[in-house]
Structure formats: C-alpha cells, structure tokens
Amino acid sequence: MSEEILRFTTKYLDECADLAVEVFNAEPGNQNWTRETARRRLLEMVNTSGFVGFVWRKKETLGFVVGNCEQWEDSLRYELKTICVRGDRQSQGIGTKLLHQLMNTLTAMNVNSIYLLTVKDGQAEAFYTKNNFQKSPRVIFMSHQLVSQAVNHQKSEE
C-alpha cells in the first residue's frame, strides 16, 4: 500500500487519538494524555467551524495535522492546533509533507497566514523554523491559571 495524505474525518479519530497519546506522552513531552482526552480534543477540533486537517497513512495512520480557519478583521487565518507524527517515523519528511498539503489547501481557500503555539527551544520549534515559520515580533503568549471555586471557598473559610 502506498503512502497517502487524506482529509481528516471522524473515521480517523480513534487512530489519531491513539497516536497522539503515544507521541505526546513519550520523551521529550512527557504529557499525560489518555485515549479519551485525546479523542475528545480531536473531536472538538473536527466540530469547530473552519476545521481543516489531514492524515498521513500507509496501512495505518502515521501522522496528522489539525486546526481551524478563523475570520480576522480583513483576512482568514489558520490556527494550527496539532501536528503529530509517530516517533519512529519522525525526521522522514512526513510532517513536512503534511504541512505542505495543509499550506496548499489553505492557499486555495484564500487563507492569509498560519499561526501556532509550541514549546520554546524544542524539536517542534526547530521543525517549524525549518519550514519557514518565524517567531512573532508583535505577539506574546500569556496565561492565567484558574483555581477551582471550591478550593478558593475552602481557603476563605479557614
């Protein structure tokens, strides 16, 4: 069977959830995904307006890329949520081919730009840099951790 890139549909949801758990829970990420949480996240993306995604298959799913288009003031932009390639198949061009398929599709859809969040100074940053992505000089990532109301209420009673 030849290798092929196909549109990401719910048909590939379970395989991609398993792949995400395998890849993101391994070194160097050491995350804590379960099949259920990975599947739920992917299903949320598939069901989001503007979803565009692809899978790389050769008998089984070896990689995928997913995200969604968003309307901005004067353009369409694509938020790349996840790109994932099986560990033993990384550095063989699968991620780059998925990214190129995505970029060609988005160009045909008149999408103007792609943006993403990734771990600083990691393998993913190096991959995106190799594929002509640049750090934004204008945008920073900020976060705020929310504490459960039950925890706050308990602390205020003490």
Domain map of the chain by residue range? Answer: 4-157
pLDDT digits (tens, 9 = 90+) for 6-32: 999 999 999 999 999 999 999 888 899
What letter represents residue 28's amino acid?
A: P
Q: Which helix (H) or strand (E) holds 80?
A: strand 76-85
Q: What is the pLDDT of residue 92?
A: 92
Least confident of 5-14, 24-33, 81-90, 124-133: 124-133
Q: What is the pLDDT of residue 136?
A: 86
The pair of three-digit structure tokens given for residue 73, joined into one six-digit string: 């003031």
Tell me the C-alpha distance between 88 and 109, whole Å: 33
The pair of three-digit structure tokens given for residue 47, joined into one six-digit string: 């069901």
Who's near 46: CB < 8 A, 6+ residues apart? 8, 9, 10, 13, 53, 66
Q: What is the pLDDT of residue 90?
A: 92
Tell me the C-alpha distance between 36 and 110, whole Å: 34
List the beta bridge partners of residue 111: 76
Asked if the model's pLDDT at residue 153 lies above 70, the reply is no
Do the strands 76-85 and 111-116 form a parallel or antiparallel pair, or are they unpaired? parallel
The pair of three-digit structure tokens given for residue 95, joined into one six-digit string: 């991620």
Give mean pLDDT, residues 86-98: 93
Do the strands 51-58 and 60-71 form a parallel or antiparallel pair, or are they unpaired? antiparallel
The pair of three-digit structure tokens given for residue 104, joined into one six-digit string: 């060609």
**Smallest Cα–Cα separation from 16: which of 36, 42, 37?**
42
Q: How many CA atoms lie within 13 A of 103 on its CB side?
A: 13
Q: What is the CATH number of domain 4-157?
A: 3.40.630.30
